[in-house]
Amino acid sequence: MEFGVFAVLQLAGLPFRLANAVAVFCSGSFNYVMNRNVTFKSSSNYARSIAMFVAMYCWNLLFSNLMMAWIPGLLGWPTMAVKIVTMGMQAVWGFLLCRYVIFK
């Protein structure tokens, strides 16, 4: 979902930071609901879990924006490739945080 929203907004001409913010918000909202109710079937403290999930997604937004600003200039990679790599990294730490910290 995140990459699809990002790609469509980039094709529409939005700057990568704005497109990324909207994409991260959309995927974060969807992922929170799915992770809490389906993947981990959590009954943990709702306020705590949403606060931690929002903090993780704020970090994800900052991280991906920084990487998309720096890596293309440093390595010559296209922004879309950097987005894919950052999403992979975020998937790994996102799963681990959700599994062992946020929804425990």
Q: How far apart are CA 83 and CA 34, in angstroms?
A: 22
pTM of the model: 0.83
**Residue 88: pLDDT above 80?**
yes
Q: What is the pLDDT of residue 91?
A: 93
Determine contact, residues 61/20, Cβ cutoff 8 Å.
yes
Question: pLDDT digits over 65-75, tens only?
Answer: 999 999 999 99
Tally of CB atoms within 10 A around 87: 18
**Hey, is 44 helix, strand or coil?**
coil
For 17-21, 30-34, 86-90, which range has the lowest pLDDT when averaged over its residues? 30-34
Residue 80: half-sphere exposure toward Cβ, Cα within 13 Å: 9
d(CA 59, CA 23): 14
Domain locations along the chain: 2-102
